[in-house]
Amino acid sequence: MEEQNFQNPIPAFHFRKRFGDINWRKISSIDVDRVARELDFVTLQENISTVTFCNVDAVSDLDPLFVKLFKLAQYTIEYLLHSQEYLQSVVNDMETQASNTAAEKVGVEQQLATANAEIAKLKQENKKRRKMIEQQQLVIEAGASSYYKCPHCDKAFMNASFLQGHIQRRHPGSVSYIGDVIEHSQREQSKLSNNLKQLEADLQKERENFDSKLREAETEKTRWAEQSRRDMDRWKEEEEQKWKEELTKMKETFIQDIEGLKKK
């Protein structure tokens, strides 16, 4: 996950110049007690610009302390408006970043789903291959154990002595060929035995390859999940720290501006 930054860094803040006369008629029509009692934010919103940016110095015969208090209230409201606007931009950025993070999370989940599907496929394939090889082993073992076949009929025997006895009893005219038959059978049996050993070696190699692929898939799956969690935790910590730092800067700027006004 790439490092996220605020799209709108805190701008340089300066108090605006006051302008315009106070609309006393409009102000006098406002029932302040009702506004407070009914939480009439609409009326406050309609008059916030007038109250915040009117030029109180243009009004004569006002107590200097009241003028100073009114100006401090104006500067406080202006600063709060600025803070509100900035924090809203921060919220918008964080919502965008959260949306991007959610999209990345979906991508990681899809990768994990793909890995799970691949693991399941490998397991199924390994199961089929193992069953097939076991069946081949049974066939070869069965063939090897009954390979002493009679060259004159369809009968087969477990060992050479049984075959020799059969030929002597059933095919007495073919006794001279018994040695060749036995030798051929032994060669074929040895060949089958070697093939069986090779097949077992191939099966073991196939099992090792499958186990290796399965371990790799499981490791990659765990790595994706852990990396996603770490990235999310790091992003949350970084954004929280940035938010705290930006608020601290805004507070320091406001305090400096207020101190400057007090010295005037």
Domain ranges of the chain: 100-248
Cβ atoms of 153 and 170 closer than 8 Å: yes
Identity at 43, one-letter amino acid code: T
Give the number of other Cβ atoms within 10 Å of residue 162's Cβ.
14
Q: What is the pLDDT of residue 34?
A: 92
What is the predicted pLDDT for the residue at 4?
A: 43
| CA–CA dist 165, 158 (Å, integer) | 12
Please report the pLDDT score of residue 7 as a whole number.
45
Rg of the chain's alpha carbons, rounded to an integer? Answer: 46
Confidence (pLDDT) at 11: 56
pLDDT of amino acid 3:
42
What is the pTM for the complete model shown? 0.42
- pLDDT for position 158: 66
CA distances (Å), origin 67, targets 27, 52, 73, 75:
17, 13, 10, 12
Contact (Cβ atoms closer than 8 angstroms) between residue 257 and residue 74: no
Strand (E) or helix (H) holding 157: strand 156-157
Q: Which residues pair with 157 in a beta bridge?
A: 148
- For the chain, 264 residues long, the average pLDDT of each consecutive 10-residue run is 45 74 84 90 86 82 85 86 82 82 78 78 76 67 59 72 77 61 65 73 77 78 78 79 76 70 60
Dist. CA 169–CA 161, nearest whole Å: 12
d(CA 209, CA 147): 34
